[in-house]
Amino acid sequence: MASISKARPLTRDSVLQAHELVKPHIHHTPVQTNTTLSTLASTPQSPDALKGTQWEGQLPAKPKIKLFFKCENFQRIGAFKVRGAFHAVKRLIEEQGIEEVRRRGVVTHSSGNHAQALALAAKTFSIPAHIVMPKISTPSKIAGTAAQGAQIHFSGSTSQEREAVVNEVIQETGATLVPPYDHPDIILGQGTMAIELERQVKELIRGDGILGVHSNDKGLDAVIAPCGGGGMLSGNAIALHGTGVRVFGAEPSFQGADDARRGVEAGKRIDTVKTLTIADGLRTPLGDYTWKIISDTRYVAGLYAVTEDQIRAAMRLVLERMKCFVEPSSVVGLATILYNEDFRSMVEKEAGDEGWNIGVVFSGGNTTIEAIMKIFASVPENQAERQEGTISKDGSRVAENVAG
C-alpha cells in the first residue's frame, strides 16, 4: 500500500477527493425504493414472530420508516469493493510511479469481492496481481477473480491463515500488499458510496416527496451497512460524519460472526473470527483502523446482529419483491430493520411520529443460482412465510403477493 505517513486524513473531505479519483473507474450505482419493504419496515412484527427470541412477550415496535437501497450489487465486479481497490491502486501509483508498481505487483487476501476488485484494478493498469483466497470461497468468486488474470493462491479460512500465505507471496515476489479493508486508502475509497447515496436520496425526494417520510426534502436520517472487516462501514461513517446522518452496522450472529458488536460491547477488539455464516463476505474481524472508527459512537451510532433465518427471509424478500439479485451479506442491514426489535425500538424512540428515511447498502450480488438453492433448500415454506411477514388489513404480518 501507499505509506501510512502519506495517507490522507480520515475525513469527509478526503472521501470527496477519493470520489473524484475513482469516478472514471466505477459505476454510479442506482438507489432504488420499494413500497412493500418500506411498509413492512413500518409495521409491527406479530407476537408469533417474536416467540423464542429475546423479545418474546414485549410489545412489538412501531417505527415509521422509508427505505432507500444503494445497489452496489450493480457495481463493477458485482460489489462495492472496486471503490476501495481502485482508490488504493491509484494512490499507490501516485506515490511509487506506475513502472515500479508494475515491477513489484500487488497482493491481497479475500474471500472473493475484494479479490475480484483488486484483480480488476490491477488489470486496468497492467499490474501483476496475486490473490490469496480461502479454499472454501464461493466458486463463482474464485472464477471471477481468475477471469481478471490474477494468480490465485489458496489458504485456510481464518485471517491468520490468509495472512501467512500473503507473507509467503511477498517474500517470493516482492509484491505490495493491498489489504481488503484495514487501510486509510481502502476506507476512503469505500466511503465514496455514501457521498453518492446522500445526494441521490435528496434528488429522489425532491422529485417525488411521497418517497420520504418528511414533508420537506431533508433526505437521509440514517444509513445501515453490512460489517465484516469494517472498511465500508468505516468509510460511510467518515463520509457522513458531521452531516447529521446516523450510521449503523449490521452483522450475522451465527458462530460469533458479530465480532464488531461484541467487541464494542466488551470494550476490546476481537481479532479472531471463525464462522461459516451464509453471509460469507462478513466472516472477517475488524482491523486496527476500522475498530477505532466503528467503536467510536461519534461515527457509528450502533451495531446490530441478525440470525441466519432472518438473513434468508430478507434475501427472499429482495429476490421476490424487488426482483433484485443479491448475495446474503448484502441483506443483513435490511434484516436488521425488519426483524431486530432493538433496532426497531430505537428508531421508534429516536424518530418519533416523523419517522426516518434510511439508506440500506446492498453490498454485492456475487452468488449463484446453485448457492441460493442450497441456502433455501432446508427452510420449510411455512417458516419462510412466517419470517417474511408481509402485511394484512389488520396490520399483522402475513404473506401476500405485492411488489412495489
- Residue 108, classed as helix, strand or coil, is strand
The DSSP symbol for 319 reads I
The DSSP symbol for 391 reads B
- Phi/psi for 402 (5° steps) reads -125, 135
CA gap 288, 279 in Å, rounded:
22
Long-range contacts of 381-386 (CB under 8 A, 24+ apart): 383/309, 384/312, 384/313, 384/316, 386/48, 386/49
**Contact assessment for residue 359 and residue 220, using Cβ atoms and an 8 Å cutoff:** yes
Catalytic-labelled residue, pool 110, 111, 155, 157: 111
Closest CA to 197 of 80, 279, 99, 105: 80
Strand pairing category for 31-32 and 65-71 = antiparallel
The residue behind cell 475525513 is 11
CA gap 105, 102 in Å, rounded:
5
Sign of CA dihedral 399, 32, 365, 329: negative
Catalytic-labelled residue, pool 66, 70, 81, 90: 81
First to last CA, the chain: 44
- Residue 275, classed as helix, strand or coil, is coil
Q: How many helices (H) and strands (E) does the chain have?
A: 18, 10
- Phi/psi for 193 (5° steps) reads -65, -35
The residue behind cell 481488503 is 180
- Write the CB contacts of 195 (distance below 8 Å, at least 6 apart in sequence): 15, 16, 19, 239
For 270, the grid coordinates are 476481537
For 282, the grid coordinates are 462478513
Per the annotation, the verdict on 111 as an active-site residue is yes
Active site residues: 81, 111
